[in-house]
Structure 1
Amino acid sequence: MKTGVVLECNGGRAVVLDGSGGFRAVSARPEWRPGDVVPLPGQRGKAGALAAAAACLVLALAGGGSWLWLSPAALVSMDVNPSVELTLNRFERVVSARALNAEGAALLEAGTVNGMPAERAVAALLDSGYLEPYLERENYVTLTVQSEDEDLAGRLLALVDETASASVGAQARVSCHGVDGALVEEAHSYGMTAGKYLALLELQAADPGVDITEYAHCGIGEIEEQIERCHMSHGSGAGNGGAWTFPGEGCGAGEHHGDRHH
């Protein structure tokens, strides 16, 4: 059975976003609310399609639901080794998902999260069988939330933190950060998520001589381990001459060389 996401209900009719990205006007059940995933009736003929399109236009102009649904309101990033970003609307539903490395692309190909509430999308990604070996190897999950709406940002931050912690349990450490738009833009200039960029800035703070682009292909766990080695090296008085793990040794540069961002 085909399903769609309710954008707007008005006068017993609903505008629904179908799986192809189009809008359909259908009879609404009393319990339907914007954001609900609902069953869709079979396709109708040309006349029915034109009537549906007209009804969609009327409802959209009256309620503005489709524009609210499609308008970005927040950005959530998630890093293990796969790096992905989820764009959310004001209903806290995923309107688009994109990968920032090859592993992230494979994760998104394993199952769609479009239309899901933020917490379900995060849980679906973390519970993916594709992600399991990365969680075992990395032992770290980093999430960030960015929104101009402070209330929305705070609510999402608490939500994804709770969801991620429940999903991974004792398998990995979870860290969640609220970030602003400027930091997201800086991260994107390096071809990475805000979460990975924060971790690399921490590494650079521990050793100002580090070129963060040399670690851009690393997983979050590998970066965190390098930060700990840096602190231990300085703490023992070894400084930059201590026992370092350089890209190519601790981050599997040979294995993931094709994923570097320069």
Structure 2
Amino acid sequence: MNGKGIVLEVKGSKLIVLTPDGRFRKIRSNGGELMGQEVWLAPEGRFRPVKMSWWLPAAAAALALLIAIPAMLAVRVEARPVVAYLSMDINPSFELGVDEKLKVRSLRAVNKDAAPFVEALEYEGRPVSEVMDRLASELADTSYLQGEQANIVFAGVRLDGAEKELLSDLNLQAKAAFQKAAAQSGDANVKITQIESTPGVMDEAAYLGLSTGQMTVYLLAKDKGYSVSLDQFRTKPLHAAATWKGGIGALVGDAEELNQDKLNRLLEEEKQERASEASGASSAPSPTPKPKTSSLGAGGAGSASFKPSAAVETKPAVAQPSAPSTKTPPPSQKHLPKPKVSAVESHLTPLPDLERGQSREELSEREEELADQAGVLSEEWKKYSKQQKENWLKEKKAAIEKLREEAEKARKELERRAREAEERLKQTEEKWKKDAKKQAEERLKEHETQLKHEQGKEEKQKEQEEKRLEEAEEEWEEAEEEWEEAEDEWEEAQEEWDNIEEEWEEKLEQHFGH
């Protein structure tokens, strides 16, 4: 299959991948793949068909089951397993399986009358209310909800872990659908009986070709002492098979919860009874042959006689003796197969040893006795083979159940790994957020430090400029003071000059005036 797969596990140079159709594949790693990553899948090669022996059709069927069931059970991650079953006995009999969300995951036709309805119905993954409405409507249109056939029996089975309320909701939705369909078609007298059975009864019913409801009613009727048989329930509708007074209502009431332990006990008793009947039939004793006397003589004189015990009746000698018969027995008598050790004890009476010189009639009787015993041995061998086949099928059934459990464990393990991957993703995301926040804070601190440094540098430059300005102002003030002092000195110098001029003029006037 081409497409993408999800990596579930990395094992060195190999990857365990979940394919889109829910299967597990081991492929070669290209390096660097992580759990939860999608990878491309190369096309798969074709498998050569396995040749099965013609005399083991049961083995072929069981092997096909062993190959098919793991693929069916290893469903996709979003698929949900069946947690509850509901068998419906009308005249057709159906068995419906739902998941914990009350979505239909399986719908089986228990008998041939139900097959056309199942084939025409799309049910996979649909709500049980929708499927039941369509099924009940189809049955009402074909007059299956009229007259005696309007007596319906629902038998629910909860698997391990299923809630009791889930089975109750399943019964309510199924009952509402049939009552609605019956009312719309004018058949308002439909009667529905609801019972709860066990997984063991359901499995045994499927093995015997019955519905869960038929098997449950059969066990209860037999426990009450009614004369019933499996063929009676296998060949007739359930309401017609319940011929005792009161019918099914005499055994259970509507929506009655049966004792699960009692049902399992009745089932085990039924299995043991069938096993003992099969064992008794295979060990039925055959008539014990009576030994014969012979009186043979050469030419009618000098005879040799056989003396039986007192309890054995003697037989007169034949008139004309003959040579022992050399007739070749049939192949089935010539080399009888030696059966393996069986759990059923054989009651065959060993034949007395053949005596030399017996008559043709006696030898013929012995051959008939041998043929009878060969027939008994053949029947024993057939029953032994049948028992071995049943044991083999039981072992394969147990192996299939084990595979079912392993597939369920694999699904749970896959969910656990998915949760772990999601948790690791959350942890990685939180770590990334923390690291990103830490880096941002560090960069912010560096920027603040650099900004503070630049601000300090600018403040220092400002202080230096202010200091230089103050020094310039002080120098200016000193220059102004020096200027003022110079002006004062200039004024004093002018005053002295003026005084000198006045004195000089006075001296000139005095000198020239005289």
Does the alignment reach a TM-score above 0.5? yes
Structure-2 separation of matches of 1:153 and 1:229: 27
Deviations 1:92-142 (A, max 9, x none): 111121111101112212322222211222221111058633222412111
Structure-2 separation of matches of 1:22 and 1:72: 18
Structure-2 separation of matches of 1:130 and 1:161: 14
CA contact 1:110–1:130 (8 Å) conserved in 2: no
Counterpart of 2:215?
A: 197
CA 1:171–1:191 in 2, change beyond 3 Å: closer, same or farther? same
Counterpart of 1:120?
A: 130
Counterpart of 2:235?
A: 217
Structure-2 separation of matches of 1:101 and 1:80: 11
Deviations 1:165-213 (A, max 9, x none): 3332424211122222122123223211211222333443455432132
- Secondary structure of 2:91 counterpart: coil
CA contact 2:139–2:145 (8 Å) conserved in 1: no
Counterpart of 1:228?
A: 245
Deviations 1:64-94 (A, max 9, x none): x943524112112111111111121222111
- Larger relative contact order, structure 1 or 2 (CA cutoff 8 Å, min sep 6): 1
Structure-2 separation of matches of 1:106 and 1:73: 26
> Which of residues 176, 181, 196 in structure 1 aligns to 2:194?
176
- Secondary structure of 1:134 counterpart: coil
> Which of residues 92, 103, 123 in structure 1 aligns to 2:113?
103
Are 1:146 and 2:157 counterparts? yes
CA 1:152–1:129 in 2, change beyond 3 Å: closer, same or farther? closer
Larger radius of gyration: 2
Counterpart of 2:175?
A: 161
> Which of residues 94, 97, 100 in structure 1 aligns to 2:104?
94
Letter in 2 for 1:194: T
The two structures have a TM-score, normalised by structure 1, of 0.56
Structure-1 separation of matches of 2:224 and 2:174: 28
Instruction: Calculate the aligned-residue CA RMSD, in Å.
Output: 3.2
Q: CA deviation at 1:215?
A: 2.6
- Secondary structure of 1:228 counterpart: coil
Structure-1 separation of matches of 2:247 and 2:115: 31
Structure-1 separation of matches of 2:244 and 2:141: 23
Q: Which runs of 5+ in 1 are unaligned?
A: 1-20, 24-53, 56-64, 232-262
- Secondary structure of 2:144 counterpart: helix
Counterpart of 1:75?
A: 85
Letter in 1 for 2:198: D
CA 1:130–1:214 in 2, change beyond 3 Å: closer, same or farther? same
- Secondary structure of 1:69 counterpart: coil
- Secondary structure of 1:67 counterpart: coil
Q: Which runs of 5+ in 2 are unaligned?
A: 1-19, 23-37, 40-74, 249-514
Q: How many residues align?
A: 173
Structure-2 separation of matches of 1:75 and 1:230: 24
Letter in 2 for 1:228: K
Letter in 2 for 1:113: Y
Question: Larger % of helix: which?
Answer: 2
CA 1:182–1:129 in 2, change beyond 3 Å: closer, same or farther? closer
Structure-2 separation of matches of 1:78 and 1:144: 7
Letter in 2 for 1:153: L
